[in-house]
Amino acid sequence: PPGATAEPPAGAAARLADDSDLLRALARDLTRRIAAIGAAGEIRLDRPAYAGAPPQLRRRVLARLLRLLPSEPHPPRQASLAALDAALCAPGRLPPRTLHGCVILAAPAHAVLCREPAALPARGPAGRALDGRWRLPDLPGLTPGPLGVPGLAALRREAEAGRWTAPSAWAAAPRPARESGPALWRDDGALAAAPHAEFGHASADDLLAARILG
């Protein structure tokens, strides 16, 4: 229109930066309200609260969780993200699905996101975060790695022998979450510790919890 002037580039850039900062702050607040870390290290989402949030914020939160959980530098594809968002907002239970190295399970009241066991790294050297997430103690003769199927089998043998009792909250967590949890392994291949299962005498610091809820 007559008399109108274009916004200077610097002003437009500052406004966009302000908008982006606001969205990030709103997304962090939404994450704190709807997300919690479960007993096996899984992320649990309040599904009705998620569905009631504005679509732009929902997808931003979901993309961030699906990027941080597997320590991926990039978010999932927009089409896949939109399909998962729509499924989580629909009523009822959902069949399990995988996306971006994660497993997504959804009951009517909540959804669970955890690492896809098949996408987990192999056992590796101590001194760095396992899967970019778990910080385990550096102990001589012990190697950090995911609990996996061998770890679950070892815990079952310990339980059958009466040497270990599974914590109820951990036992109730979805199997993929338990399987993808951290563990310490001896050089002979025996399970030495599974912190979330309260087996052994090691603890694991969850770096993800601070990233998403801090």
Residues 34-55: tens digit of each pLDDT: 999 999 999 999 999 999 999 9
User: Looking at the DSSP assignment, which residues form a beta bridge with residue 130?
Assistant: 134
Dist. CA 56–CA 164, nearest whole Å: 46
What percent of the chain clears pLDDT 90, i.e. is strictly above it? 81
Question: What is the band of 33 on the pLDDT scale with cuts at 50, 70, 90?
Answer: very high
**pTM for this predicted structure:** 0.86
Dist. CA 76–CA 92, nearest whole Å: 24
pLDDT value at 11 more than 80: no
The mean per-residue pLDDT over the stretch 201-213 comes to 90
The mean per-residue pLDDT over the stretch 146-152 comes to 97
Cβ 40 vs Cβ 181: under 8 Å: yes
